[in-house]
C-alpha cells in the first residue's frame, strides 16, 4: 500500500512538473469583445505566439503550445488585420506574465507572484481594417528625472499631439524615465493623453540597477509595460521591439553595453521564420547599433548576427534614440551588411532634447535644443506597403521648419571674410543635397561639414557671457553635427540687405526650403 501510494504521489508530482513546463492556449476572434474565450468564438490559425525565445504558429483551431520556465512572458505577435485590446492607459494588452514566485526583491517593485500557469492562456484579437498606408508616431527619450520634468514633457511634447488624427499608434524609443522607476506611472499618464495605442521599449535609464543579471534588469519595466522583447505586424510591416541594453556590462560588470543576449537573437531568428520576405522589417531598440566604422557602444558580434539574420530581407529599417542627437546611418557590405542596398538606421532626436536644459520659453518649458543643433521634437513614419518616409517635427515650431540657417548679421562690402552661411538640415545626412542662393541668384552647392552648429554655440555664449543668472539650466557643450552644410557668403553685392535661400533634398526625394538674410555695408558705414 505504502509503495503504491508513493508511486502515485511520484507520478502526480512528475505530472505537475510536466504541466508547468508548457503553456497552451488559443488565439481567438473576440466577437463580443469581453476578453474571454467562449465556445462559439473561433480560434485563428497561423498566428505567431512567443515565450520570448521560441515562436510557434497556432494550428487550424487557433491553439498553440510553448515551453515555459519560472520566468517567461507569453505574447501573441499581432497579425495584420487584427487589433489587441488596450488597457485604460492605451497600452496594448498582448501578453501574459508567468512568474510563479514573482520578481526578486528590488529597489523598485517588479511583478507580483503569478502562481501556477492557467490551464489555457488565451489571446483575444478583434478584426480591424488596417490599410497598407498609415502613419506612426515616435518619441525618443522622454527621460524625466523628476515630476517637474514629466510636466515639461507633458506640456512641451504631448500637448502638441494630444488627440492627433490619422496616426495608427505610437512608440517610445526607451529612456521612458531617468533612473527613478516610480516615474513610469506619471509617464504613462502623460502619454495616455495622445489618445492612440502606445508601445514602449526599454532604455538604459529604465533598468533595475540593483539587478544582478541582465535577465532581471527589466523587472519593473515588465510590471508596467510587459515584455521587453516582442513583435507585431501592421499592414505590410513587421515590427520587432528589443531591449538592447546589456546590464551589468559583461566586460567588467560595471555600467552597461549595447548588445543582445543569446535568447534575444534566437527570438529574432525564430520570429523572422514566419515573416514574408517582401514585408518591411522595422527593428526598434534604444542604443544605436553604432555609426559605421567607429565607436564601441554596441557589441560588434551582435550587430553582425543581426545583419546575418536579415540577409534575406530586402526591406529593412532600424530605429534608436539614446544619444540626444539626430543622425542617419547607412550600413554597407563594408560594415557587414549582406545586401547591395544599404541598411538605413535612424537615430531619432529626443522629446527631452538636451535633457530639459536651456532657457525657458514663454510657457516656462526649457527650449532644450540638442547639442548638434537639432530642436527637441518627435518623428512621424509614413508607411506605404513596404516603403516608408520619415518626418521630424520640431516641438513648438511649424511643420515646415526643417532647416536652421545661420549667417553673420553684417559683413563689409567687397572684403573677403572667413564667415560663412551654415544650414543645419535636421533630418539630413552626407548623402543629401543642400544648395543655396542669394537674392534669387545662381544656385550653388553647399559643402557638408562636421562642425559645431553655430546657432547652438551662440546659445552657450549667451549663458557664459551673461552677468546675471538665466532661468533654466545651461545647455550641454556642443558636439559635431552630422547634418550641417556651409557656403561662402558673397560680399561684393550692393550694400544693403540680401536674402539667403537654402534648399535641401532629402533621402526620400523631397525638398525643403528656409530663408535668412544679412546686410552688406561699406567700410565707412561700418566705422
Q: Taking the CA atoms of the chain, what radius of gyration do you get in angstroms?
A: 26
Peptide bond before 248: cis, by omega within 30 degrees of 0? Answer: yes
Please return the burial class of 15, using the count of CB atoms within 10 Å of its CB with bins 0-12, 13-18 and 19+.
Answer: exposed
**What pLDDT was estimated at residue 96?**
98
Neighbours of 60 (CB within 10 A): 9
| Cell numbers placing 224 | 508596467
Nearest Cα residue to 513 out of 400, 428, 392, 431: 400
Per-residue model confidence as pLDDT tens digits over 346-360 = 999 999 999 999 999
- Neighbouring CB atoms inside 10 A of 323's CB total 21
**What is the side-by-side order of every strand in the sheet holding 377-384?**
198-200, 169-172, 133-139, 377-384, 387-394
Length of the chain, in residues? 527
Report the SS3 class of residue 214.
helix
**Helix, strand or coil for residue 344?**
strand
Q: State whether the Cα torsion 263-268-269-274 is positive or negative.
A: positive
173 three-state secondary structure: coil
- pLDDT number for residue 296: 83
3-state secondary structure of 435: strand
Kindly state the helix (H) or strand (E) to which residue 262 belongs, with its residue range: helix 262-272
Asked if 135 contacts 105 with a C-beta cutoff of 8 angstroms, the reply is no
pLDDT tens by residue, 79-90 = 999 999 999 999
Predicted pLDDT of residue 291? 66
CA distance 92 to 86: 5
pLDDT at 11: 41
In degrees and rounded to multiples of 5, residue 258 shows phi and psi of: -80, 135
Cα of 316 vs its chain's centroid, Å: 15
CB distance 486 to 450 below 8 Å: no
pLDDT at 111: 97
Backbone angles phi, psi at 302, to 5 degrees: -75, -40
Which residues fall within 8 angstroms of residue 213, CB to CB, at 6 or more apart? Answer: none
Are 349 and 373 within 8 A, CB to CB? no
Residue with cell string 573677403 = 416
Q: Are 472 and 479 in contact (CB under 8 A)?
A: no
Rounded CA separation 193/216 (Å): 31
Q: Pull the grid cell for residue 461.
A: 555664449
Task: Collect the ranges in the chain with pLDDT lower than 50.
Answer: 1-19, 526-527
Kindly list the structural domains of the chain, giving each domain's residue range(s) and its CATH number in brackets, ordered by start. 23-106+119-124 (2.60.40.1120), 135-394 (3.60.21.10), 403-526 (2.60.40.1220)
DSSP characters for 365-423?
-B----TTSPPSEEEEEEEETTEEEEEEEETTS-TT--EEEE--SEEETT---S-EEEE
Please give the pLDDT value at position 77.
Answer: 98
Gap between the Cα atoms of 458 and 313, Å rounded = 45
Around 308, how many Cα atoms within 13 Å sit in the side-chain half-sphere?
9
Helices H / strands E in the chain, number of each:
9, 30
Look at residue 524 in the predicted model and tell me its pLDDT. Answer: 67
Residue 523 phi, psi (nearest 5): -60, -35
Percentage helix, strand, coil for the chain under 3-state DSSP, each rounded to 5: 20, 30, 50
* Residues 318 and 343 sit within 8 Å (Cβ to Cβ): yes
- Res 9: pLDDT: 43
Amino acid at each position: 500500500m505504502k509503495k503504491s501510494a508513493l508511486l502515485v504521489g511520484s507520478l502526480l508530482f512528475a505530472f505537475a512538473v510536466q504541466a508547468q513546463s508548457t503553456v497552451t492556449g488559443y488565439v481567438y476572434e473576440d466577437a463580443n469583445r469581453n476578453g474571454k474565450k467562449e465556445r462559439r468564438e473561433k480560434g485563428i490559425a497561423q498566428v505567431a505566439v512567443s515565450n520570448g525565445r521560441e515562436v510557434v504558429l497556432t494550428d487550424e483551431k487557433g491553439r498553440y503550445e510553448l515551453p515555459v520556465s519560472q520566468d517567461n512572458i507569453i505574447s501573441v505577435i499581432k497579425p495584420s488585420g487584427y487589433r489587441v485590446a488596450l488597457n485604460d492607459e492605451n497600452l496594448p494588452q498582448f501578453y501574459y506574465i508567468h512568474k510563479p514566485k514573482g520578481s526578486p526583491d528590488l529597489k523598485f517593485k517588479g511583478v507580483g507572484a503569478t502562481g501556477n500557469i492557467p490551464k489555457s492562456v488565451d489571446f483575444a484579437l478583434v478584426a480591424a481594417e488596417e490599410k497598407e498606408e498609415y502613419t506612426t508616431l515616435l518619441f525618443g527619450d522622454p527621460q524625466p528625472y523628476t515630476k517637474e520634468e514629466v510636466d515639461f514633457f507633458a506640456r512641451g511634447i504631448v500637448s502638441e499631439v494630444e488627440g492627433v488624427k490619422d496616426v495608427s499608434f505610437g512608440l517610445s524609443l526607451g529612456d521612458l524615465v531617468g533612473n527613478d522607476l516610480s516615474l513610469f506611472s506619471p509617464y504613462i499618464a502623460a502619454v495616455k493623453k495622445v489618445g492612440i495605442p502606445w508601445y514602449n521599449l526599454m532604455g538604459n535609464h529604465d533598468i533595475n540597477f540593483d539587478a544582478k543579471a541582465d535577465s532581471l534588469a527589466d523587472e519593473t519595466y515588465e510590471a508596467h509595460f510587459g515584455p521587453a522583447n516582442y513583435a507585431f505586424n501592421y499592414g505590410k510591416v513587421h515590427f520587432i521591439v528589443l531591449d538592447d541594453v546589456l546590464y551589468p556590462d559583461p566586460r567588467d560588470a560595471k555600467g552597461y553595453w549595447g548588445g543582445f543576449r543569446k535568447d534575444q537573437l534566437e527570438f529574432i531568428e525564430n520570429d523572422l521564420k514566419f515573416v514574408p520576405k517582401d514585408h518591411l522589417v522595422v527593428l526598434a531598440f534604444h542604443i544605436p547599433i553604432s555609426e559605421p566604422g567607429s565607436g564601441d557602444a554596441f557589441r560588434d558580434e551582435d550587430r553582425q548576427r543581426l545583419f546575418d539574420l536579415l540577409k534575406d530581407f530586402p526591406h529593412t529599417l532600424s530605429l534608436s534614440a539614446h544619444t540626444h542627437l539626430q543622425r542617419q546611418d547607412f550600413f554597407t557590405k563594408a560594415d557587414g551588411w549582406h545586401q547591395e542596398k544599404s541598411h538605413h538606421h535612424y537615430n531619432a532626436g529626443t522629446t527631452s532634447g538636451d535633457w530639459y536644459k536651456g532657457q525657458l520659453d514663454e510657457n516656462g518649458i526649457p527650449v532644450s535644443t540638442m547639442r548638434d543643433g537639432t530642436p527637441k521634437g518627435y518623428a512621424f513614419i509614413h508607411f506605404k506597403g513596404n516603403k516608408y518616409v520619415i518626418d521630424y517635427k520640431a516641438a513648438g515650431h511649424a511643420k515646415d521648419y526643417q532647416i536652421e540657417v545661420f549667417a553673420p548679421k553684417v559683413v563689409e562690402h567687397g572684403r573677403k571674410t572667413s564667415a560663412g552661411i551654415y544650414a543645419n538640415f535636421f533630418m539630413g545626412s552626407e548623402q543629401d543635397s543642400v544648395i543655396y542662393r542669394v537674392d534669387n541668384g545662381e544656385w550653388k552647392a553647399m559643402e557638408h561639414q562636421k562642425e559645431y552648429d553655430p546657432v547652438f554655440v551662440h546659445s552657450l555664449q549667451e549663458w557664459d557671457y551673461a552677468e546675471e543668472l538665466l532661468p533654466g539650466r545651461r545647455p550641454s557643450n556642443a558636439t559635431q553635427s552630422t547634418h550641417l552644410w556651409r557656403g561662402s557668403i558673397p560680399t561684393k553685392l550692393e550694400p544693403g540687405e540680401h536674402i539667403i535661400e537654402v534648399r535641401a533634398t532629402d533621402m526620400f526625394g523631397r525638398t525643403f526650403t528656409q530663408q535668412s538674410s544679412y546686410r552688406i555695408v561699406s567700410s565707412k558705414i561700418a566705422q
